[in-house]
Amino acid sequence: MVALLLLFLTIPAVFGKDVKCPEGFHHFKRTPTVKNNHTKDWCLGVFEAERLDERDRARSICANHDATLSLPENQKESDFIAAFSNKHNISDPHAADGETNPSCAAGVYENMKENIEITSAHVRGECNLKNNYFLFDDANTDPAFVFGKFSYPAPNRFHRYTETDRPTIYHFAQCLVYNTRLIPRNWTSPGDADTSFCVGRPIGKNWDQEHDFAYDQIKVESVICGRHPL
């Protein structure tokens, strides 16, 4: 009887424990589903650094916080990122989880070669936006919310470089970015998904013409990271 009483007294202490996130992260409750790997608690944080349009740099920032690239799963999480953007005066998009599936990228290059315009929202099969056009580092976030925020579904930024007697070189923006600071700021559902070239902006003046697209691309100096609570 005493043992049962002790067990009863310890249950609230175990199950009533507050969920905590590390410094720099904010805790969110989620509805567990198959698409978010049955995740009910998730920590999101936004971190600033230079040249985060270079995908490996963005991944590294998250890794330093024992996290992965991530995305907001709902409007409440998006509003948190928007508040951070306004507080820190960030008007450029954040690096976010999502990079074009290599097999789908091959199809984009083929379409560019044939001058065919197509978006992942309209293509059928594996490379549809809602299927596997993007591959994700974070298995605990359902990307459907962000997919609904595209003004122009991916792929939506292209570049080709042609030089006499040399093959044409094709580039397109393969990495997902997310912008929450819209004008007006009191927008009822802020958030806009877009894409960026993954190679990073050039440093210095010695930049060849073939890579001019990277020089002119949007600046990315913050990243959305996610992880499980402590």
At 7 the pLDDT is: 44
For the stretch 186-204, pLDDT in tens is 556 778 999 999 988 776 6
For the stretch 29-60, pLDDT in tens is 999 999 999 999 999 999 999 999 999 999 99
Q: d(Cα 45, Cα 201) in Å, to the nearest integer?
A: 24
At 5 the pLDDT is: 43
Mean pLDDT throughout 85-114?
A: 95
Better-scored residue on pLDDT, 216 or 99:
99
Q: d(Cα 225, Cα 97) in Å, to the nearest integer?
A: 8
Structure tokens at 186: 């009191």
At 122 the pLDDT is: 94
| Helix ranges restricted to H, 16-143 | 55-64, 75-87, 102-113
Cis, peptide link before residue 153, omega less than 30° from 0? no
Query: Exposed, middle or buried, 73 (CB in 10 Å: 0-12/13-18/19+)?
Result: buried
Q: d(Cα 21, Cα 12) in Å, to the nearest integer?
A: 21
Q: d(Cα 222, Cα 122) in Å, to the nearest integer?
A: 30
What CATH architecture is 43-227? Answer: Roll (3.10)
Q: d(Cα 114, Cα 129) in Å, to the nearest integer?
A: 21
SS (H, E, C) 152-203: CCCCCCEEEECCCCCCCEEEECCEEEEECCCCCCCCCCCCEEEEECCECCCC
At residue 86, the 3 state secondary structure works out as: helix
Q: d(Cα 167, Cα 174) in Å, to the nearest integer?
A: 21
Residue 176 has pLDDT above 80, yes or no: yes
Structure tokens at 3: 């043992």
Strands 222-227 and 68-69, bridge-based pairing:
antiparallel
